[in-house]
Structures are given as C-alpha cells and as structure tokens.
Homo-oligomer: A and B are copies of this chain.
Amino acid sequence: MNYYSFDWGDISLQKNKTEKYSKILNSAGAVFAEFGFHKATISQIAAKAGVADGTVYLYFKNKDDILYQFISFKTQVVFQKMNAAVEMGHNAEEKLRNLIRCHLQEFQNDKNMAIIFQSEVRYLREIESQIKDISKMYLDLLSDIIEQGQIEGSMRQDLFVGLVKRFVLGAVEGVISTWVSAHGRYELVSMADPLVDLYLAGVRGK
C-alpha cells in the first residue's frame, strides 16, 4: 500500500456510495412529497435519481426503509439544530422563541420534508420506535423550557406541562400545515414571533 493509493480506493468508494445513497434518498423525498408514499413507485424514485430500479435495493432494504431512513435522517439533522438554537437562549422565553424560529425555518427550507412529515409520519406506526424517541426528545426540550420558565417566574406555576408541550407542538404543526397547503407562498418563519406571542400572552386582552 503506497502513498498514492493509500486509502484512496476506500475513500472514493465511500464517497460514491454515499453520493448515490443521498441521491436516491433525496429523489425519494421529492417523489414522496409529490405523490405521497403509497402512490410513489420505486421506478419513479429510481428514474429521478438516475439509477436502475434494482440499484435502489442495493442501498435500501425496501420501500418502507426508504421512508424510514428519510424521516430518520431529517429528524436527526433538524433536531440537532433545534437543540443548538435552544442553547443560544438566555432564558425560557428566548429559548422557546429560538426553538419555534428554528423549527419553522428548517421546514421552510425543506418543503419536501415538511410535506412528508405532515402526511406520512403517522404511517410508520410500527416502525416508529426510533422516530418516536426523537419526537419525545422534542417534547422533552419543551418540558425543560417550560420548567425553566416556571423557575424563572416568567411562566405560570399552574401549568399542566404535559398539555402545554402538546399545545405548543400542535400549534406549530398546524401553522406548518397551513403553509404547505398554501404551497409555501409566504415566509413561514415570519409566523414565529406572532406565534410565540400567542403562546406567551394568549388571545385575551389585558
């Protein structure tokens, strides 16, 4: 194994493999988003990725696996960003605001992901194990923020935390859902501040 060939083979192999894997995954994302998981076909995905149908099966166990890996990968990436965003906040309100901003920003940047999360996540009922964990992480993140807010005194003591976090996540998802229905015509992220304001102050006048 000389200097020139040192690991190059493996590296470029890895790279090609990764590239093709990503290509297929992204194509799948586009096709799933356009037609929905069940109406999407392997042939469509393969064609869009520029590979043969059979090739898909060199990178994924089966059709379900493609969806699973797509969601799994996207979730991980987004969640990492959310975590970082929350950490940037100096108090509970700031953390909440950062979380919501990040959430909306990421979904705005990746509409395919937004559509797929909205429509297909629930299909993975059985497969869900890992994905459920990540959804749980999101809710835990919220729990921490709320609890911190209560300690700081910026949030009410009489909150039912389990309800509040569902309330927050549900509303964000609703807002994203509307944005998707509107074919992403406006700035999703511009909803962040008004939304956080609603969380904090409610609809009632003073």
A residues near B, CB below 8 A?
36, 38, 118-119, 122-123, 125, 146, 149, 153-157, 159-160, 163-164, 166-175, 177-178, 191, 194-195, 198-205
Contact = CB atoms under 8 A, between A and B. Distances in A.
Contact of A177 (B157, B159, B168, B170): B170
A204 B201 contact: yes
B119 A167 contact: no
A148 to B, nearest CB: 12
A202 B202 contact: yes
B178 A174 contact: no
Given A156-B205, A204-B201, A170 B163 contact: no
Given A122-B118, A146-B203, A171-B171, A178 B166 contact: yes
A167 B155 contact: no
A195 B175 contact: no
A175 B119 CA distance: 18
Contacts of A149: 203
Question: Which of A155, A156, A205 is most buried by chain B, counting CB atoms within 10 A of its CB?
Answer: A205
A155 B38 contact: no
18 contacts: A36-B125, A38-B123, A118-B122, A146-B203, A155-B204, A156-B204, A157-B205, A164-B203, A166-B174, A166-B175, A167-B174, A169-B174, A170-B171, A170-B173, A200-B202, A200-B203, A200-B204, A202-B204
Contact of A199 (B36, B123, B202): B202
Contacts of A118: 122
A193 to B, nearest CB: 10
